[in-house]
């Protein structure tokens, strides 16, 4: 099932290209209004999801690099052990891996993750995120959906 790594590579490429474009275009905290519920807003997140540990003393960078590295290795092993019929599971894992590696590159290079997708309603803003985060969430959702599918057809 390692032939799904093309999807991982595609996600990394799209994620890094979009981040490069945003860094080239917007300054930190600068906002470009796209729609009445969506902005492009440059943000740096040294923490994890929802800025968890963002205000720690810097140790979190290495903690999240280590964690993402371990998770990525585990995902590669999981992907390698999948049976040929587990296509949705392989796609899910490849997406999560691409997202994890996309954000890992940011942490190594910058010390934080570049976020820029800003959805909001009124004055409530969802925490800014990026394409890597989107791939992780979509991959995880597909993995949950796949877990509810009947496996008897493969026995």
pLDDT in tens, 32-42: 999 999 999 99
Q: Report yes or no on 78 lying in a domain.
A: yes
Name the domain count of the chain: 1
pLDDT in tens, 66-97: 888 999 999 999 999 999 889 999 999 999 99
Identified catalytic residue from 15, 106, 118, 133: 133
Q: Report yes or no on 155 lying in a domain.
A: no
Q: Report yes or no on 154 lying in a domain.
A: no
Q: Which domain holds residue 98?
A: 2-45+57-149
Burial of 130 per CB tally in 10 Å (0-12, 13-18, 19+) = buried
Q: Report yes or no on 52 lying in a domain.
A: no
Give the span between the Cα atoms of 2 and 44, in whole angstroms: 32
Q: Report yes or no on 142 lying in a domain.
A: yes
Decide: 135 and 95 in contact? Cβ < 8 Å: yes
Verify whether residue 115 is a known catalytic residue: yes
Whole-model pTM over 0.85: yes
Identified catalytic residue from 15, 106, 115, 118: 115
Q: Report yes or no on 141 lying in a domain.
A: yes
**Residues 6+ positions from 126 with CB-CB distance below 8 Å:** 118, 119, 120
Verify whether residue 106 is a known catalytic residue: no
Q: What share of the chain is helix, strand, coil (3-state, %, to 5)?
A: 60, 15, 25
Higher pLDDT, 112 or 47: 112
């Amino acid at each position: 099932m390692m032939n799904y790594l093309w999807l991982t590579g595609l996600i990394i490429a799209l994620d890094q290209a979009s981040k490069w474009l945003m860094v080239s275009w917007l300054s930190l905290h600068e906002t470009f209004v796209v729609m009445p519920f969506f902005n492009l807003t440059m943000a740096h997140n040294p923490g994890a999801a929802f800025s968890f540990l963002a205000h720690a003393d810097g140790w979190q960078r290495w903690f999240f690099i280590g964690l993402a590295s371990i998770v990525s290795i585990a995902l590669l092993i999981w992907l390698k052990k999948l049976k040929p019929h587990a296509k949705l599971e392989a796609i899910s894992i490849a997406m999560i891996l691409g997202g994890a590696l996309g954000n890992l590159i940011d942490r190594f290079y910058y010390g934080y993750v570049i976020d820029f997708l800003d959805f909001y309603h009124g004055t409530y803003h969802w925490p800014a995120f990026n394409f890597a985060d989107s791939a992780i969430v979509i991959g995880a959702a597909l993995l949950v959906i796949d877990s509810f599918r009947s496996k008897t057809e493969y026995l």
